[in-house]
Amino acid sequence: MSEPAAIAVDQFLAHPPAKVWRALTDSDLLARWLMPNDFRPVPGHRFTFRTTPRPGQGFDGVVHCEVLELDEPRRLRWAWRGGQLDTVVTWTLVPEGRGTRLFLEHAGFDPEDPVQRRTFTLLDGGWRSHVWRRLEQALTHLA
Amino acid sequence: MSEGDVFAALANPTRREVLRLLLERGEQPVQQLADHFDMRRPSLSEHLRVLKDAGLVTEQPVGRQRFYALRPEPLRQVADWLGPYERFWRARLADLREVLDGLPDE
């Protein structure tokens, strides 16, 4: 059984890949939808995102990142480290009609952590997309 | 009920399939579930016992049959665990769309 240990989210954007790429790789634009940062589109560049600290979770509010891959305008990969996390964020841009489907994968959640591992095992594949939403709806009705 | 029991119960694909069937088709007698899986009843009964111990299904005797029904409450802790990360990215992607919509084309 596969254990991807990843969150995967995708979103259709009614804009061409080149424009989506700009919003992903321009520091000022990134700050407008993600977090303040000192990103530069250079492979190997180390940068940070800064957000609200959450001392209770051992997170000082700084996400330490590194540009792992830069394949304009298709794929962008960052190391994403902060608090308990030592993970990788991958953006994939796929042309779709006149727009772009943007895939986000946030992978590498600690495979030694049994709770994390089991959660991602549970949430892989079709069970996640087809069943989980309805289970969540069922939960909402319980509330 | 410890947290691990629910995650352990969900870690098995057969048990997840049982939950899916109960979700989509409602309460069912054990034989109907066994027919779906092409599985000997004793091994299915073992899966049902694990699900019952985790509080994910209820068992109701009706005549000579035992009916099983989904009890989703324990899944809330799974949703609570994953929620923050997924909610974070969904919210950020929504913001990204707004930024793009307000940005002139090159």
pLDDT the model gives residue A47 = 98
pLDDT the model gives residue A116 = 53
Select the more confidently predicted residue: A54 or B59.
B59
Confidence (pTM): 0.59
Contact B92, A34 (CB under 8 A): yes
Peptide bond into A73 cis (omega under 30): yes
B91 touches chain A (CB under 8 A): no
Average pLDDT of every residue of chain A: 79
Q: Which residues in chain A have their CB less than 8 angstroms from residue B23's CB? A: 131, 134-135, 138
Q: What angle do CA B19, A7, B53 make, to 5 degrees?
A: 30
Select the more confidently predicted residue: A134 or B76.
B76
Average pLDDT of every residue of chain B: 83
Instruction: Read off the pLDDT of residues B53-100 as tens digits, 9 standing for 90 and up.
Output: 999 999 999 898 899 999 888 877 666 555 667 778 888 898 999 999
pLDDT the model gives residue A109 = 72
Q: Which of A79, A80, A77 is nearest to A93 (CA)?
A: A77
Shortest Cα–Cα distance, B64 to chain A (Å): 30
Instruction: Report ipTM for this prediction.
Output: 0.75
Interface touch A11/B23, C-beta < 8 Å: no
Instruction: Read off the pLDDT of residues A85-126 as tens digits, 9 standing for 90 and up.
Output: 788 999 999 999 999 999 998 888 765 565 555 445 444 444
Contact A16, A98 (CB under 8 A): yes
